[in-house]
Structure 1
Amino acid sequence: MPSFTLPVLSAALYRRLLRYVVPYRWEFFVAIIAMVITAATEPLLPALLKPMLDMSFVHKDPAWIHWVPVMLLGLFVIRGIANFISKFAMNWVGNKVVMDLRRQMFERLLQLPVRYFDDHPAGVLISKLVFDASQVMTAATTVVTNLVTDSFVVIGLLGWLVYLNWKLTSITLLAAPPIAWVVKKFNTRLRSVNRDGMRAMGGITT
């Protein structure tokens, strides 16, 4: 049973955080679209490099020699702009959500009885208000960014690899299960370290 507790709690936490994103849904949507564009440029890069090398150095086609560098430059420009927009929009939404979280936490603290403050050190309360809210939102935005960007990158690159050689790609995918197991173990350990860090921050500010 304990092995299923953390994922459930994480999913519930992210669903709660998404409610805070609703007032800023358009900015969040722009960030997601920019992430998709950034991810789409990853498989396009090897797709352009292959004909550039073949047509430029092997066949010496003057049209390819002229246009492929221009296309590569345009690809990097689009990638840079999309990456900037995604990071700016996601950080903007994250800061707004952190501000809303801290406002609600502060309003809740004002309504608590005096006994609560007698039982809990001031440093722990300050840590929850200042540090924990920021950490939770940073983790949430990182998860969304990695989920969207990395998913499209993996799908695009896998599609390109299958197009080049599906047999070699199938052999490569055999390494996916052990890698997933290592990532899961590392993620569990990282959660524990993060919780210890939050407790330590509360102790420092006490």
Structure 2
Amino acid sequence: MKLYLVPTPIGNLKDITLRALEVLKDVDLILAEDTRTSGKLLKYFEITTQMQSHHMHNEHKIVNGLVDKLKSGLTIAMISDAGTPAISDPGFLLVRACVENNIDVECLPGATAFVPALVNSGLPNDKFVFEGFLPVKKGRQTRLLLLAEETRTIIFYESPHKLLKTLGHFCEYFGEDRRVSVSRELTKLYEETIRGSAKEVLQYYTEKPPKGEIVICVAGKS
């Protein structure tokens, strides 16, 4: 009995590891955030392992049943739509349950969007804090006020239709001159990283509405 957390490509399918392919072929069951999305990946690599849906809307309901399956001797792999499971994606609940039930958990190394975004941002990366998605409404102002005093590089995930609002909040709470790096469509054909002050980056994306998945790196307070 064992649970594997298997990172999947964030864009370029060639970024999957040989070991990840081996695990996905050998396990008894694959937990997928969206079986339609993951189905395309598995089909591309000719993997026929059975899949089961596992996402933020059902993970609380099925966690005990999955633990029972693991205790019965099954090996299970968990994947998300892209990147490493449990990083701003489902996964934590099942991992915690496995740890509590003395079930082996192994996370393979692999794709995670914030790592290349941080490394190519040009901002200090010896110390950083990963925030994921900011609260949409409740708690957003409180969080931004707290982060305004953070001295380490701060990393956020954001959707394209909320990027301008978020950059505007950075100007308001962190200051217009705070250094920002926005990476989008990482590993894909139209990969782009825009660096500059919060004001400059906001102006750029006001004129050129963004598309695709986005990672924002913000310099810490001087």
**TM-score w.r.t. structure 1 length?**
0.22
Structure (1 or 2) with the larger CA radius of gyration: 1
**TM-score w.r.t. structure 2 length?**
0.21
Q: If each structure's strand is expressed as a fraction of its own residues, which one has the higher value?
A: 2
Greater RCO, 1 or 2 (C-alpha within 8 Å, sep 6+): 1
